[in-house]
Structure 1
Amino acid sequence: MDRKIALKEWAVAVKALTDGRQIMVLRKGGIAEETRDFRLKSPRFFLLPAYEHQRAELLKEEYRDELAAVLEGWTPDSPDAEIAAYAEAVDDIEIRDQETVDALANYHIWTDTFTEERLKWKRKQPLHLLLLRVYKLDHPVRLPMQAVYKGCKSWVDLELLPDSAAAKPVLDDGTFARRAEEIRRAIARQ
């Protein structure tokens, strides 16, 4: 990795990404962001599962059991965090209209209500669609929980990570390229 930086994302979304069921995230930034808007700090980053704000009613029905699974054994005072994947952002597409958000409905785990709320929050700022090529680490890394890993922010600097970690892409090149192009075509029609 170029930097030891991680994008915090709902644990249930990280699971969907690492299972290959989703190749995108929608970001506006966290409440405690250093800047007023979301910025892609690095084209390559680890995925740090976040447990705050996850709610079953914000997930499509077929993903609600996944939330229960990722929450099993987790508590707000968990002593460590697990890093099991990193991602490369192959696209950062700004979205400003509901029609484009609606065109993405088949490509993610969230409800229409959640994505609509994401778009409307900080209305002057665009919603960022990040297309992610995800790599699963051969050996997940457990890090002692740090105060800086908590809170409503998108990016955190990680400590105690190895300089390199063996990983394999979640999807093969052809499958990833087809799915990314399908998403690009869906939003180009808007």
Structure 2
Amino acid sequence: MEGPLALREWAVAVEALASGRQVIVLRKGGIAEETKEFKVESPRFYLFPSYEHQKPHLMKEEARATVLLTQEEALANPDTVRIAYYAEVVHDLEVTDEETLQRLDALHVWTHDYAAERLKWKRTKPLHVLVLRVYAVDNPLLLPLDESFGGCKSWLQIPPISPSAMHPVLTDEQFDARVDEVLRCVNG
């Protein structure tokens, strides 16, 4: 029996989503993607925290300490990964220009330079701005790390897991306000 899908995302971004600091992730696709570009494989998935490429200097000042905290957590638990959040894609918006990206700048934890670098990479492909409704899993899962979780790919098949109750990290009103803010930025 196949398990659910998980989106690999920097642990610092998962924490920003979990706290309600942001409701978006910026995706271009990993270099190991089968199609060489990002696509939403499922509208619902777990968030799989990744520690490999996140670096404090790529984050806004407010998130730099969280990078270090997540790296310490990974070092303290080298054989497991903690899956504590689930997400639903509300919008998959495509951004192709620097002006739109600049308008989104206050809505995420990455530096503008890093976000612009993501936009410019594979210039002919759009940057996907996924607007996510995030849920905290009441009983976080500890999965043993597996070789299949490695590599620069966005989507991971994780082992079958027992369902757990979840609750949204933002109220409906808070989330709707954040989505409206994102849409205003993208639509100019």
Report the counterpart of residue 109 of structure 1 in structure 2. Answer: 109
SS at match of 2:148: helix
**2: CA distance, partners of 1:77 / 1:19:** 22
Question: Does the CA-based 8 Å contact 1:143-1:160 persist in structure 2?
Answer: no
Classify the secondary structure of the residue corresponding to 2:68: helix
Match of 2:95 in 1: 95
Q: Find the aligned partners of 2:89 and 2:146 in 1 and give their Cα distance.
A: 25
User: Secondary structure of the equivalent of 1:135?
Assistant: strand
Contact 2:30 2:36 in 1 (8 A): no
What is the Cα deviation at residue 47 of structure 1? 0.1
The aligned residue for residue 170 of structure 2 is: 171
Change (3 A) 1:66 1:155: same
Partner residue, 1:187: 186
Secondary structure, in 3 states, of the residue corresponding to 1:174? helix
Match of 1:9 in 2: 9
Q: Distance in 2 between matches of 1:62 and 1:36?
A: 32
Q: Tell me by how many angstroms 1:160 deviates.
A: 3.8
TM-score, normalising length from structure 1? Answer: 0.95
For each residue in 1:71-96, what CA deviation from the matched residue of structure 2 results, as whole angstroms up to 9, or x when unmatched? 11423981111100100000000111
CA RMSD of aligned residues (A): 1.5
Tell me, which stretches of 5 or more residues in structure 1 are unaligned? none
| Equivalent position SS for 2:75 | coil
TM-score for both structures, normalised by structure 2: 0.96
Query: What is the percent sequence identity of the aligned residues?
Result: 48
SS of equivalent to 2:40: coil
Counterpart AA for 2:179: A
In structure 2, what is the Cα distance between the partners aligned to 1:188 and 1:160? 39
Match of 2:62 in 1: 62
> CA offset at residue 161 of structure 1?
1.5
Q: 2:59–2:110: 8 Å Cα contact kept in structure 1?
A: yes
Could you tell me how far apart the structure 2 residues matched to 1:15 and 1:82 are?
Answer: 12
Superposed CA deviations along residues 25-46 of structure 1, whole A, max 9, x for unmatched, are 0000101111111000000000
> For 1:120 and 1:76, how far apart are their aligned partners in 2?
35
Gaps of 5+ in 2: none
Q: Give the aligned residue type for 2:177.
A: R
Q: Kindly provide the amino acid, as one letter, of the partner of residue 93 in structure 1.
A: L
Does 1:35 pair with 2:35? yes
**8 A contact 1:9–1:48 mirrored in 2:** yes
Secondary structure (helix, strand or coil) at the match of 1:66 reads helix
Question: Matches of residues 39-58 of structure 1 in structure 2 within 5 Å?
Answer: 39-58=39-58
Task: Assess, with a 3 A threshold, how the Cα gap between structure 1 residues 78 and 43 changes in structure 2: closer, same or farther.
Answer: same
Given residue 7 of structure 1, which amino acid in structure 2 is its aligned partner? Answer: L
Once residues 98 and 185 of structure 2 are traced to their aligned partners in structure 1, the CA distance between those partners, rounded to angstroms, is 13
